[in-house]
Amino acid sequence: MDDLWARLTADGGEESRCGWLKDRYGLSWQIVPTRLAELMSHPDPAAAGRVAAAMRTMNKIDVAELEKAAAG
């Protein structure tokens, strides 16, 4: 994920929120790790809510931070 993100934002690409970015040609992409879906469907609604709130503050999605949010 990190390598893909770096290549797509190189040479004039732009980061945006929640895993979205634009490449140097202006094409939009969303890079989403599989773990995000797992954490968002956490059996504890409060944990899933914390994950969603944490993700909304990120540009590139950081799985370690999402796992911390899920843990509380």
State which H helix or E strand residue 68 sits in.
helix 63-71
- pTM for the model: 0.85
Whether residue 4 contacts residue 31, with contact meaning beta carbons closer than 8 Å, is answered with yes
Instruction: Give per-residue pLDDT as tens, 15-54.
Output: 999 999 999 999 999 999 999 999 999 999 999 999 999 9
Q: What is the pLDDT of residue 10?
A: 94
The CA distance from 57 to 66, in Å, is 11
**Fold type of domain 2-71:** 2,3-Dihydroxybiphenyl 1,2-Dioxygenase; domain 1 (3.10.180)
